[in-house]
Chains A and B, each alone.
Chain A
Amino acid sequence: MAELLQYIATGITIGSVYALVALGFTLIYNCSGIVNFAQGEFVMIGGMVTVALTAYGLPLEAAAVGAVGVSIVVGIAIYILAVAPAGRASPVTVIIITIGVSIFLRGAAQVLFGKQFHGVKPFLSEQPVMILGAAVQSQAFLVIGGTAAASLLFWILLERTLIGKALMATAANRLAAQLVGINLRRVMLIAFGGSAAIGAIAGILVTPITLTSYDVGTMLALKGFAAAMLGGMGSPLGAMAGGLLLGLAEALSAGYLSSAYKDAIAFLATFAVLLLAPNGLLGRRSVNRV
């Protein structure tokens, strides 16, 4: 029983990070049809800048705010310098551009922060909380809580504000959205800035648990993308569900099946789901009328 709880706690914690990365994918995908493969690098920037700023003696809160700020600036710069100049190029072209951007960011981080691993102390306490025999790190509660808060904010932004309506309208039909006077450029800037902020928050919260390095984003982007596909590309709720499920699948297969093949098992499960439901668990069904 204690082990099962331990696996579930581990799965939900790491799954929350996948969910946040998936959410970042969703935000940009929804209003542009682009999958931004530099999403994992926002997580890296969030963690790395926090480490660097605390090393300069800044208090944690200020460092975290600074890290989110830097990440947003990078996100907006990616849109202005790399994505916007591509103009009306096909989504595949832009996706390849974002892969290039992610390689560039990794290289820059390597020069700026070095190649070694960095860590931050847990925000609350180093002592884990014991729940029915399972040791749960205090930082894990922050990760889960932070993910819940970020997705709630995301939902309010999309459903309850004018900006959100503009984002949704752009997603539904770009041309029509422009015709009713929505500033496409501004919508895209908000999407890139917002998804950079979400990624940075994930990076800040998770660094005390997982440590960070210049190339930590690669694997996270892959897992986050799998989570987004699993949940249904374009659905915020699906991104959350996909992330948590992927995390749980990994932890449980490491515990009960084989730790050597846990990634393979998690990806196979994703594959099986996509075979049965090609649009993901909560994805919109795309219907082509003839």
Chain B
Amino acid sequence: MRTLVVAGLLSIATVTVQAQDSVTIGAVLSVTGAAAFLGEPEEKTLRIYVDRLNAEGGMLGKRINLVIYDDGSDANKARTFATRLLDDGKIAAMIGGTTTGASMAMLPVFEERGVPFISLASGISIVEPVRRFVFKVPHTDRMACERIFEDMKTRGLSKVALISGSDGLGQSMRDQCVAVAPRFGVQVVADEKYGARDSDMTAQLAKIKAVVGLQAVLNAGAGQSPAIVTRNFAQLGFSNVTLYQSHGVASKSFIELTGAASEGVRLPSAALLIAGQLPASDVQKPVVINYKQTYEAATGQPVSTFGGHAYDALMIVADAAKRAKSLEPGKLRDAIETTKDFVGTGGVFSFDAKDHLGLGPSAFKMVIIKNGDWALAD
């Protein structure tokens, strides 16, 4: 009996010691399931960099205790895990929501409990309207559309066909592109769709090919489908038509899967993809090169922009903690909102009370695929 009591006291003692010396950062990511190609690099990035921060003394001298839940690409589960994270103990900040769906499901919980929430998803609805405790780091679909249309305009292309996937990115990006096209003098001459698990898009592309005066094809979508679209596009032999892809394909495996078919494909991407080719004057260069080397050395896998978003979110929290000199969620939130000229992998972030995204379309670089690698287009 006495040993039991002693053991009990000891365990209480260790718990309190832990609570004093550590700060908890929560994360709910889609490490498995349909969005795993996004969630997996995000999870790895968080683990690598939390270890590094801890080796350097943690946040404000406190050890970071990282708690990651895998929602299996299911928004319902994400919400359950979010509630559990908040109920289990005090968390200073929350990173994640890999997909727009998961982020939208979780954000009311954090808004209500007053804990800062930094989403890694691209949907514009996360930060529009602005919610007090909700921020996001990736570029939005609308910015991708704007960057692509800007590129078309400078190259004198105005008749464009859309082919979009039925996945979240494909749908929302298609809507945004249709909405902003007139501002750039771009005319949408065809609007085709395909299923998220379709294995052949020749039929849709054949229909697009028949449009008279076609100058460009824009494919909005994530996952393997854009790779199939690119292959089918090459097989059908379009003449004098440029294929544009979205930022959703920005990983090395896209080039591996498409081979010669992706030569000349243009897409907007974060600086990370072309880290080595950035001019030395670029402020992002040291940050992206450092992240790329660290990630590739630790995982043995090529870097993708998705993991970069997790890096940006974690570092923005760490930076805010330094300025706030506090790990209290409310003070942390105020410090995140006043982040100015923070250089991340996705761009240079400046948040304010009206803007919880902090990036402009210039954060996207226009990239072209040349000789089986990414190259800066302009």
Min CB–CB distance A153 → chain B (angstroms): 25
Answer yes or no: B257 CB below 8 A from chain A CBs: yes
Q: Given A13-B200, A115-B36, A211-B199 in contact, is the A3-B227 Cβ separation under 8 Å? A: no
Min CB–CB distance B372 → chain A (angstroms): 14
Q: Given A115-B37, A259-B192 in contact, is the A135-B236 Cβ separation under 8 Å? A: yes
The answer to whether B224 and A211 have CB atoms under 8 Å apart is: yes
For the complex, give the distance between the alpha carbons of A263 and B194 in Å: 9
Which range holds the interface residue count of chain A?
Answer: 35 or more
Closest to A255 in B: B203
Q: Given A10-B202, A251-B203 in contact, is the A135-B195 Cβ separation under 8 Å? A: no
Answer yes or no: B259 CB below 8 A from chain A CBs: yes
Min CB–CB distance A257 → chain B (angstroms): 11
Min CB–CB distance B108 → chain A (angstroms): 30
Q: A6-B203, A6-B206, A135-B202 are in contact. List 9 more A-B contacts (CB 8 A).
A: A6-B236, A10-B206, A117-B257, A128-B235, A135-B236, A206-B199, A211-B228, A251-B203, A254-B194
Answer yes or no: A171 CB below 8 A from chain B CBs: no
- For window 95-121 of A, CB contacts with B under 8 Å fall at 110, 115-119, 121
The answer to whether B200 and A14 have CB atoms under 8 Å apart is: yes
Most chain B CB within 10 A, of A110, A128, A252, is at A128
Q: Given A115-B32, A211-B257, A263-B195 in contact, is the A6-B202 Cβ separation under 8 Å? A: yes
Min CB–CB distance A129 → chain B (angstroms): 10
A-B pairs with beta carbons under 8 Å apart, 7 shown: A10-B202, A10-B203, A119-B256, A134-B206, A135-B236, A209-B199, A254-B207
- Residues of A within 8 Å of B261, CB to CB, are 126
Chain A 206-242 interface mask (CB, 8 Å, partner B; 1/0): 1001110100101100000000000000000000000
The answer to whether B257 and A119 have CB atoms under 8 Å apart is: yes
Min CB–CB distance A245 → chain B (angstroms): 16
The answer to whether A117 and B207 have CB atoms under 8 Å apart is: no
For the complex, give the distance between the alpha carbons of A126 and B263 in Å: 14
Q: Given A115-B36, A211-B227, A255-B207 in contact, is the A128-B197 Cβ separation under 8 Å? A: no
The answer to whether B203 and A110 have CB atoms under 8 Å apart is: no
Answer yes or no: B353 CB below 8 A from chain A CBs: no
The answer to whether A115 and B40 have CB atoms under 8 Å apart is: yes
Answer yes or no: A25 CB below 8 A from chain B CBs: no
Answer yes or no: A39 CB below 8 A from chain B CBs: no
Closest to A17 in B: B199
For the complex, give the distance between the alpha carbons of A216 and B199 in Å: 9
Closest to A263 in B: B195
Answer yes or no: B11 CB below 8 A from chain A CBs: no
Most chain A CB within 10 A, of B210, B224, B237, is at B224
The answer to whether A210 and B203 have CB atoms under 8 Å apart is: no
Closest to A213 in B: B224
The answer to whether B37 and A116 have CB atoms under 8 Å apart is: yes
- Residues of A within 8 Å of B22, CB to CB, are none
- For window 186-222 of A, CB contacts with B under 8 Å fall at 206, 209-211, 213, 216, 218-219
- Residues of B within 8 Å of A6, CB to CB, are 202-203, 206, 236
- For window 204-262 of B, CB contacts with A under 8 Å fall at 204, 206-207, 210, 223-224, 227-228, 235-237, 253, 256-257, 259-261
- For window 322-344 of B, CB contacts with A under 8 Å fall at none
- Residues of A within 8 Å of B200, CB to CB, are 10, 13-14, 209-210
Min CB–CB distance A120 → chain B (angstroms): 10
Identify the 7 closest CB pairs spanning chains A and B, nearest first: A210-B199, A117-B224, A6-B206, A260-B193, A254-B203, A115-B36, A219-B197
Closest to A261 in B: B193
- Residues of B within 8 Å of A210, CB to CB, are 199-200, 228
Answer yes or no: B294 CB below 8 A from chain A CBs: no
Min CB–CB distance A7 → chain B (angstroms): 5
For the complex, give the distance between the alpha carbons of A211 and B37 in Å: 16
For the complex, give the distance between the alpha carbons of A9 and B205 in Å: 13
Answer yes or no: B65 CB below 8 A from chain A CBs: no
Min CB–CB distance A206 → chain B (angstroms): 7
Partner of B237, one of A11, A135, A209: A135
Answer yes or no: A137 CB below 8 A from chain B CBs: yes
- Residues of B within 8 Å of A219, CB to CB, are 197
The answer to whether A121 and B224 have CB atoms under 8 Å apart is: no
Answer yes or no: B166 CB below 8 A from chain A CBs: yes
Q: Given A14-B200, A121-B259, A209-B200 in contact, is the A3-B253 Cβ separation under 8 Å? A: no
Q: Given A116-B253, A117-B253, A260-B166 in contact, is the A110-B32 Cβ separation under 8 Å? A: yes
For the complex, give the distance between the alpha carbons of A13 and B194 in Å: 17
- Residues of B within 8 Å of A14, CB to CB, are 199-200
Q: Given A115-B32, A115-B36, A259-B194 in contact, is the A3-B206 Cβ separation under 8 Å? A: yes
Min CB–CB distance B16 → chain A (angstroms): 39
For the complex, give the distance between the alpha carbons of A10 and B203 in Å: 7
Min CB–CB distance B254 → chain A (angstroms): 9
Closest to A260 in B: B193
- Residues of A within 8 Å of B236, CB to CB, are 6, 128, 135
- Residues of A within 8 Å of B253, CB to CB, are 116-117
- Residues of B within 8 Å of A258, CB to CB, are 193
For the complex, give the distance between the alpha carbons of A121 and B260 in Å: 11
Closest to A13 in B: B200
For the complex, give the distance between the alpha carbons of A210 and B257 in Å: 10
The answer to whether A126 and B260 have CB atoms under 8 Å apart is: yes
